[in-house]
Amino acid sequence: MHWIDPNCLPEVKGVIERFVLNPHGEIDGFVMTGANEALTLVHTPPHLETELVSHVKPGDAVRVRGVRPRGAALLAAVAVTAPDATEIIDRGPDHDREPPKLEKKKMSAASAVRLSLFGPKGELRGALLADGTVIRIGPKEANEVAGLLAPGASVAVSGDGAETKHGRIIHAKEIGAALSELRPITAEKPKPKPKHDEKHGHKHDHGAHA
């Protein structure tokens, strides 16, 4: 979002409740409590993590300027203003940056979904559970199990996980409504497009008019 002037965007105020992690254990957003205790999922790119944690923490009141993708309860941040008035602006990623090496182990979780989690373009990418666990799933796979990632749904997962100082993250490989109902997560394979001749139900006979 570094090409957008944040000053042209509306400002949303709130208090950071908790950070949200991506499958690498990096911060890629936070949950913010606003007016009337309404929750807002704010996406921030992972390359802003160092600057973000240097200036804000859970419990801090912040101001966010960002864009809202269609069809997703998400605010993709372009700029976050910290309590000390520091502006944390997305100026684009460092192309030499590599994700941290996170030591993962087999983990599972079962709880109610508190919030659906989305990528910056509004693609479904997982869920925040009521017990605080963040579960992540690829966008194609997430669409196949969207009902289990909706707020209020009961969900259980198993996969590669880790405990970090910012919370618990599981990259889910299996999912179900309960731990006893787990099944592998797979994306539906796209159907092959019909060939032109098959689509029209006949083949051209190039010699028919000879």
The pLDDT value given to residue 35: 78
Give kind and range of the element (H or E) at residue 13: strand 11-21
* CA neighbours closer than 13 Å in the CB half-sphere of residue 194: 7
Give kind and range of the element (H or E) at residue 160: strand 154-164
From residue 163, give the alpha-carbon distance in Å to each of 23, 38, 160, 167, 204.
Answer: 12, 27, 11, 6, 62
The pLDDT value given to residue 208: 46
Most confident of 91-100, 148-157, 180-189: 148-157
Query: For residue 3, what pLDDT band results from cuts at 50, 70 and 90?
Result: confident
The pLDDT value given to residue 186: 85
The third-level CATH classification (topology) of the domain covering 6-89 is OB fold (Dihydrolipoamide Acetyltransferase, E2P) (2.40.50)
From residue 147, give the alpha-carbon distance in Å to each of 68, 153, 202.
Answer: 22, 7, 41
Domains 6-89 and 105-184 are alike in CATH topology: yes
Mean pLDDT of 161-172: 94
Please report, for the chain, how many H helices and E strands are present, in that order: 3, 12
Q: For 9-36, write each residue's pLDDT tens digit.
A: 999 999 999 999 999 899 999 999 987 7
- Break the chain into its structural domains and give their ranges: 6-89, 105-184
The pLDDT value given to residue 38: 86
CB atoms within 10 A of CB 21: 26
Mean pLDDT of 136-152: 94
The pLDDT value given to residue 5: 85
Percent of the chain with pLDDT over 70: 87
Q: Single out the residue of 156, 152, 153 nearest to residue 174, CA to CA.
A: 156
**Average model confidence (pLDDT) across the chain:** 88
Q: Which CATH number fits domain 105-184: 2.40.50.140, 3.40.50.1860, 3.30.565.10, 3.60.21.10?
A: 2.40.50.140
Higher pLDDT, 38 or 80: 80
The pLDDT value given to residue 201: 52
Q: Residue 160 pLDDT > 50, yes or no?
A: yes
The structure tokens listed for 117 are 């989690």
3-state secondary structure 37-70: HCEEEEECCHHHHHHHHHHCCCCCEEEEEEECCC
